[in-house]
């Protein structure tokens, strides 16, 4: 279940990004970069979930 492990790793990374976004000491450029990273990680999570869903639908 390699995709499951990847999914958990990506969710963990996304959680870390959100925790960093909550930090009050972030500069605006850092905040913008973290938001961009969060979007990339979320896209990867979505892609894995879609692939898993498609595998489940296949006969």
Q: How many CB atoms lie within 10 A of CB 3?
A: 13
Question: Using CA atoms, how far apart are residues 52 and 23, in angstroms rounded to an integer?
Answer: 34
Two structure tokens written together for 10: 């990506």
- The pLDDT assigned to 3 comes to 72
- The pLDDT assigned to 57 comes to 61
For 39-53, the pLDDT digits (tens) are 999 999 999 989 887
Instruction: Compute the average pLDDT of residues 23-46.
Output: 90
Could you give the angle at which helices 2-21 and 28-57 cross, rounded to 10 degrees?
A: 160
């Amino acid at each position: 279940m390699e995709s499951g492990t990847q999914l958990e790793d990506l969710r963990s990374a996304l959680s870390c990004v959100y925790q960093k976004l909550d930090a009050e000491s972030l500069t605006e450029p850092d905040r913008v970069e973290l938001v961009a990273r969060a979007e990339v990680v979320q896209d990867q999570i979505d892609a894995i979930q879609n692939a898993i869903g498609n595998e489940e639908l296949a006969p």
